[in-house]
Structure formats: structure tokens, C-alpha cells
């Protein structure tokens, strides 16, 4: 009887954790943080890491000013989001007159967001986002 009660409690606990959306979200977030930390440790332990940092700084210091209607892509080392994919174009929809320097909760952004960029998602719907022109470069078609 004790064994049955223990099993029922174990089953209940497992069901409770799985059915709690906040717990599930927390677990997903924690696993993502662990993967990111492992990836960082791997790249930081590479003998090339100091040169990669210097290359990232050179990339950051390159001057570029996007124009409305221009096709752009993420600069190497400066892609903060998965879309558009690295080396794939987005289109400059708007250059903001006044850059946004805090997120919607008032926290400072790493780079002021001064450009609205668009890309087509998997259903060919136009998706837009704000980003910093510092992160962008003119798109070059790598297939030519």
C-alpha cells in the first residue's frame, strides 16, 4: 500500500510539473541558458578567441549608413536574432528620426535601435523589427 501511495504521489508530482506552464517555460529557459553557457565556454577556450574578439571589434567599427529600400544583412558577430538568417537579406523599411534606446520595460538597449527592417517569414508574410544600424551591412548575394 505504501508503494502504491508513493507511486501515486510520484505520478501526481510529475503531472503537476508537466501541466504547470510556468514551470515548463522556466525549464526551457534554464536549458537554453545552459546550452549558451556551454557554447560560450567552448568558444572562449579556443586558442583563436583573442583574435575573434579583435575581429569582432573591427567589424563593429566599420562605418555603414543604410538607406530606406536597401537590402541589408547582419554583420558578422552582430546578429542578435535568428531572422533574417545569416547572409540572407532583409529590407530597410524606415530610418527612425529619433533612435529608441530603451526596451519597453525601460532597460537600456546595447545599441540604440534606429532602423526598421522587414523580412518574409515561412508563409511569405512581411515581419518587421527594430534594430541598430550598427548591426547591419549592405547585403551581398553570396550565390553569384
Answer for the pair 78, 55: CB distance below 8 angstroms, yes or no: no
What's the pLDDT tens digit per position in 104-142?
888 898 899 999 999 999 999 999 999 999 999 999 987
* Reported pTM: 0.73
Break the chain into its structural domains and give their ranges: 2-44, 65-138
The larger pLDDT score, comparing residue 60 to residue 5, is at 60
Long-range contacts of 109-113 (CB under 8 A, 24+ apart): 111/135
What's the pLDDT tens digit per position in 33-86?
999 999 999 999 999 999 999 999 999 999 899 999 999 999 999 999 999 999
Q: Which CATH number describes the domain made up of 65-138?
A: 2.30.30
Residue 26 predicted with pLDDT over 80 = yes
Amino acid at each position: 500500500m505504501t508503494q502504491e501511495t508513493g507511486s501515486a504521489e510520484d505520478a501526481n508530482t510529475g503531472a503537476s510539473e508537466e501541466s504547470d506552464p510556468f514551470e515548463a517555460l522556466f525549464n526551457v529557459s534554464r536549458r537554453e541558458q545552459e546550452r549558451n553557457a556551454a557554447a560560450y565556454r567552448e568558444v572562449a577556450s579556443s586558442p583563436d578567441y583573442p583574435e575573434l574578439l579583435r575581429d569582432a571589434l573591427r567589424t563593429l567599427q566599420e562605418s555603414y549608413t543604410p538607406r530606406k529600400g536597401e537590402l541589408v544583412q547582419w554583420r558578422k558577430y552582430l546578429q542578435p536574432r535568428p531572422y533574417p538568417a545569416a547572409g540572407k537579406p532583409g529590407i530597410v523599411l524606415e530610418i527612425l528620426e529619433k533612435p529608441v534606446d530603451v526596451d519597453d520595460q525601460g532597460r537600456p538597449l546595447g545599441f540604440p535601435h534606429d532602423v526598421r527592417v522587414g523580412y518574409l517569414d515561412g508563409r511569405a508574410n512581411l515581419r518587421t523589427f527594430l534594430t541598430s544600424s550598427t548591426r547591419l551591412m549592405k547585403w551581398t548575394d553570396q550565390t553569384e
